[in-house]
Structure 1
Amino acid sequence: MTTLENLSCPIDSAPLSRYERSLKCEHGHTYDLAKTGYVNLLPVQNKRSKDPGDSKDMVAARQSFLNQDCYFPVVEAILSSWPKKALVDGIRVLDAGCGEGYYLGKIGKILHDQKINIERVGLDISKWAVAAASKRDKSVSWLVGSNASLPVPDERFDVILCLFGFPIFCEFSRALSKSGLLLLVESGPDHLIELRKILYPSIHDYKPTHSDGVANFELLSESSENYSFALNSQVDIQNLLSMTPHIHKASYDGREAVKQLESISLTADIKLRWYQKIEEVNHA
């Protein structure tokens, strides 16, 4: 499929058309494609900081860690839990908060090998993440943008993936087709528990997110993926730490203690929840 199609101007929501190396709307707003093929649809006025999202160094650390496939079982769990009726040729999938493209790249390759070709769009607020993603897989439409204001028309996607990200449910509902699906992947109570015990003097009780449900969505299925993996160098440990919220939350003493480690065995504890968009009933 041709990439970068059926997108909307982030300033006025008008349709974007492709002209060689740029996208333009009818009002003259123009967005140039980067050399590696992605497009930045995050206008200055929508940025909360000069360089939002993961920094260049954080993206490099994430890429180095993920490329070792310690989280590949998460990819397998996503595909095994995916509702079969929605895993067919031609479905349109958005990875909302795609990072440097690991999950969307792996999912596309596995499905391609199974003779299932899907349209993939990856969006992240970090230009560094999207730049890295655009070098990983050229068959994906990569966008710099925000989940709070997706630069796409209504009902653009059949499936939205939000993997360890920041879901904006009203936007996800708008961008999903009728009966479209949403996958939330989040950390479970024991995720990286061994690392957290070193970083923090005490571990807070686990509070499940969205336990009261999600507006405009019904829960279809819930599952967990639990396994162990080992990191055998300080570099790998720091790469993992830098892609978690703990790099900002942990105390100085905790981070210093982690610097003394040469290896660590860790628990991965992942929660997967599939939701279906609920159709609004018109009483007109």
Structure 2
Amino acid sequence: MTTLPFQALACPLDGNPLQRQGAALCCAAGHSFDIASQGYTNLLPVQNKRSLDPGDSKEMVAARRRFLESSHYAPIAAAVSQATLAGVQAGVLSCLDAGCGEGYYLRQLAAAAEREGQTLALLGLDISKWAVLAAAKRDKQSTWVVGSNAALPVLPATLDRVLCMFGFPVYAEFARVLQPGGFLLQVDAGPDHLRELREVIYPSLKPPRNGETLTPAGFAAPTSEALSYRVEVCGAEQIADLLAMTPHLYRATAEGRARAAALTEISLTVDVRLTRFGREA
């Protein structure tokens, strides 16, 4: 398996193709973006930032890295890799992880592709510079950029796959960058995901949302499958790491967080939905 540099980056200021020139990425209009010594590039213009340091903090990224390395979410990564590589013919498969975090799922995809002899061009994008920095330190083969799903720094119709893992989908942008015949693979929490932890931190649980998945413009009707299994999370630190990588850390009251902090072990349901949106021709 070979992981090639991703060659279809676009200037976030004017949309022109970016080419590497020394230690920078440059477009024909003269815009230049330095490649950091760790191997990533910041392609998030300051005018597109909603805060000085958007996205996950350094501490949240570290918590996610520690928890994912425990392999509790390895079945999710395996299912994503299998779905992403299914039906791939000879050639280079180009894939974007839109909201890549610290790069866990792209690293697992690269390992799966290596076992199948598939060549990849991988791009990991996240709005958190701390997440992208952590990803670039671990993986020197993939391309890593700081950017936003709302304005992907990617040329139109250049991707075979887009992954959106527990993230914030921007379907118009995903449709723009996908080639006809490519697809978006979206992973979301199911109704029972981490139910036992939620029962600890909330006074009561909201009923699950009912409703069919809509078909965004530019995509064919989606197909979906469920993945559910049990995990045993042991140790207060690992439970704290899990809570830190979920929205529940901020949604819970101080009392709820205190109840979670008192736990030393918990048996949890992992329940996710994998939805595939095919890009129409």
Give the structure 2 partner of residue 45 of structure 1.
47
- Match for 1:128 among 114, 127, 130? 130
Q: Does 1:74 align with 2:76?
A: yes
1:232 to 227, 231, 234: 234
Structure 1 residues 183-222: aligned runs within 5 Å: 183-207=185-209, 211-222=213-224
Query: How far, CA to CA, are the matches of 2:89 and 2:146 in structure 1?
Result: 26
**Rounded Cα–Cα distance in structure 1 between residues aligned with 2:233 and 2:213:** 33
CA 1:88 to 1:54, structure 2 compared with 1: closer, same or farther past 3 Å? farther
Partner of 1:179: 181
SS at the partner of 1:62? helix
Q: How does 1:43-122 map to 2 (within 5 A)?
A: 43-82=45-84, 84-86=86-88, 89-122=91-124
Instruction: Specify whether residues 201 and 87 from structure 1 end up closer, same or farther in structure 2 by C-alpha distance, changes over 3 A only.
Output: farther
The residue aligned with 1:161 is 163
Alignment check: 8 A CA contact 1:88 1:118 kept: no
Partner Cα separation in structure 2 for residue 69 and residue 76 of structure 1: 11
Q: 1:209 to 1:42 in 2, by over 3 A?
A: farther
Give distance in 1, aligned partners of 2:26 and 2:262: 52
Deviations 1:166-193 (A, max 9, x none): 0000000000001211101000000000
Counterpart Cα distance in 2 of 1:187 and 1:209: 15
The answer on whether the counterparts of 1:7 and 1:16 sit within 8 Å (CA) in structure 2 is yes
Aligned partners of 2:243 and 2:35: how far apart in 1?
A: 32
Partners of 1:130 and 1:116 lie apart in 2 by 24
Match in the other structure for 2:21: 19
Distance 1:275 1:208, change over 3 A: farther
Q: TM-score, normalised by structure 2?
A: 0.95
Unmatched runs of 5 consecutive residues or more in structure 1: 280-284
Structure 1 Cα separation of the partners of residues 29 and 14 of structure 2: 8
Q: CA deviation at 1:222?
A: 1.1
Secondary structure, counterpart of 2:220 in structure 1: strand
Structure 1 distance, partners of 2:257, 2:89, is: 42
Alpha-carbon displacement from aligned partner over 1:71-102 (angstroms, at most 9, x marks no partner): 00001112333473246541110000000000
- How big is the shift at 1:152? 1.1
SS in 2 for 1:23: strand
1:148 touches 1:171 (CA, 8 Å); kept in 2?
yes
Give RMSD over aligned pairs: 1.5
**Counterpart for residue 30 of structure 1:** 32
Q: What is aligned with 1:282? A: none
TM-score of the two chains, using structure 1 as the length reference: 0.94
Q: 2: CA distance between counterparts of 1:118 and 1:50?
A: 33
Aligned residues: 279
Amino acid paired to 1:232:
C
